[in-house]
Amino acid sequence: MNLTVDQASPGGIPGPEDHWPADSLPPGLASARMFRSIRAARSWLHAQGAAVTSPDAGALVKMKPGDGGVPLFMIPGAAGSILQLGPLADKMPEPMPVYAIRPRGLNGSEQPCESIRDMAENGIIAMRAIRPVGPCLLLGYSAGGLVALEMAQLLTAAGHAVPLVILIDTYPGRRVWPLRCHVEILGRQVVRALWALRRYSLAGARREVLRRLRSLFDYLAAAGVRALPSLPVLIEGTSAASRRIYLATYKAGEAYRPARYDGKVIFIQPDAVPNLEPRSPEQVWRRFLGNLDVRRVTGTTHSGFVESGAAATAATIRECLRQAGVTYQQY
């Protein structure tokens, strides 16, 4: 049996007869990512381990205790792993309580949310259980940033203060990116490809051109060119439940159309901008976010934000909090 995410065993727990799903990240790579996250989260786990690994932990997990000041709520990336947020939580300002919001479906007995709005509402319910009133700070990593942004929309619409939203390398689906953003990315890729072709023999160059053309078609399909077939999703996650959440979040993110938000938002960008992302996140976000500030963190990559680059990322976040006038004494 070739277990796909949608066919996973009831309860989300793979049984011994299940095999690694073919549409998922190769197991070697998935294992390596998991152990890198575990390694990066070591000091946080030693400090907070008993609380965060409690099987009784619900949708809201206390990542770091604080003194009751304005709390920071973190939303993990598409696979829903709070482990990857541990190194960041560990380095947040001492008095600030930090929580992570786990996506619905991780325990396997519930279906994952199917839209960013549902995920945001789910997050607010979890959050309000411990903070029924009062302001809060929101941080989302990768796809989790879309959920954080939607939560901010809902909270402010309901009259609650959200002094700051932090997006860590978060983008909406490429279909809503402006044309000039695609032109910039594709232009950069063409220059790279031409430069790279110098190294190849004639036969090798032909293969390389074909490979890059496939990559171009994939990009255009993701950007919404209807003449091209949609891309299969390479699913991430370390369990059947997390892979199911990853797929649901991916689809929800692709379908999400952000509404205009004028609250303060900080976008944290990696130093090494991924090939298929814009150099300037403002190009994508400008029409959705009225008060956006972009910070690039030296020496980081997309995954490095929450691994080797966690200290630098946390330092940037602390500085953003200070500049935004968000101090724990404020509340």
Partner 1 sequence: MLVKETIVAEFKRVAGEQGKTLAALGDGMMLLETGLDSLCFAVIVARLEDGFGFDPFQTAGDETFPVTFGDFVRFYEAAAHAHSAD
CB 143 within 8 A of CB 250: yes
Residue 265 identity: V
Instruction: Supply the minimum distance, in Å, between the C-beta of residue 56 and partner 1.
Output: 10
Judged by CB under 8 A, the chain residues 46 through 105 that form the site for partner 1 are 46, 49, 52-53, 55, 81-83
Site string for partner 1, 14-53 (x = CB under 8 A): xxx-xxx------xx-xxx-xxxxxx-xx--xx--x--xx
Cβ distance 200 to 208 under 8 Å? Answer: yes
Select 45 or 216, whichever has its Cβ closest to partner 1.
45
- How many Å apart are CA 318 and CA 327, to the nearest integer? 10
Nearer to partner 1, 52 or 321 (CB): 52
As measured in angstroms, the least distance from the Cβ of 34 to partner 1 is 5
Query: Judged by CB under 8 A, which stretch of 13-21, 65-73, 120-128, 205-213 contacts partner 1?
Result: 13-21
Interface pattern 227-266 for partner 1 (x via CB under 8 A): -----------xx-xx------------------------
Could you say whether residue 212 binds partner 1 (CB under 8 A)? no
First to last CA, the chain: 55
- Rounded to an integer, what distance in angstroms lies between the CA atom of residue 25 and that of residue 38? 18
Output 46 or 260, the one with its CB closest to partner 1.
46
**Closest CB to partner 1 among 20 and 200?**
20
- Nearer to partner 1 (CB atom), residue 1 or residue 227: 1
Instruction: Quote the CA–CA distance of 130 and 63 in Å, as a whole number.
Output: 14
| 269 touches 169 (CB < 8 A) | yes
Binding positions for partner 1, 149-208, rule CB under 8 A: none
Binding residues for partner 1, how many (CB under 8 A)? 35
Q: Nearer Cβ to partner 1, position 8 or 92? A: 8
Minimum CB distance to partner 1, residue 142 (Å): 16
Q: Of 18 and 282, which has the nearer Cβ to partner 1?
A: 18
CB of 38 to partner 1, least distance (A): 5
- Taking the complex as a whole, the smallest distance from the CB of residue 21 to partner 1 amounts, in Å, to 10
Tell the smallest beta-carbon distance from residue 49 to partner 1 (Å). Answer: 6
Cβ nearer to partner 1, comparing 13 with 272: 13
> Minimum CB separation from partner 1 for residue 77, in Å?
12
Sites of contact with partner 1 (CB under 8 A)? 11, 13-16, 18-20, 27-28, 30-32, 34-39, 41-42, 45-46, 49, 52-53, 55, 81-83, 106, 238-239, 241-242
